[in-house]
Amino acid sequence: MEFLTEYGLFLAKTVTIVVAIGVIVGLVFSAGQRHKKTDKGHIEVNKLNEKFEHMRDVLKEATLDSEQLKTLMKEEKKREKAERSEKKKAAKLAAKAKPESTTDEADASAKATDKKRVFVLDFHGDIKASACDNLREEISAVLSLATATDEVVVKLESGGGMVHSYGLAASQLARISNKKIPLTVCVDKVAASGGYMMACVADKIIAAPFAVLGSIGVIAQLPNFHKLLKKNNIDYEMFTAGEYKRTVTMFGENTDKGREKFKEDLEDTHVLFKEFVSEHRPQVDIAKVATGEVWFGRRAMEVNLVDGLHTSDEYLLTQADNADIYEVSYSFKKSLPEKLGIAAQGAVDRLLLTWWERLNYNRWF
- The secondary element (H helix, E strand) that includes residue 43 is strand 42-47
- The secondary element (H helix, E strand) that includes residue 90 is helix 66-96
User: For this structure, is 335 an active site residue?
Assistant: no
User: For this structure, is 245 an active site residue?
Assistant: yes
SS3 of the chain: helix, strand, coil, percent, to 5? 55, 15, 30
Handedness of CA 168, 172, 173, 176 (dihedral sign): positive
8 Å CB contact between 316 and 325: yes
- Between CA 325 and CA 312 the distance in angstroms is 13
Handedness of CA 298, 303, 307, 313 (dihedral sign): negative
Q: Which of 30, 193, 215, 312 is catalytic?
A: 193
Strands of the sheet with 116-124, listed across from one edge: 42-47, 323-331, 116-124, 151-157, 183-187, 204-207, 308-309
- Between CA 201 and CA 150 the distance in angstroms is 17
Cα→Cα distances 351→17, 158, 229, 357, Å:
22, 15, 29, 10
Q: Which of 36, 40, 231, 245 is catalytic?
A: 245
What would you report as the CA-atom Rg of the chain, rounded to the nearest whole angstrom?
27
- Between CA 213 and CA 159 the distance in angstroms is 9
The catalytic residue positions are 193, 245
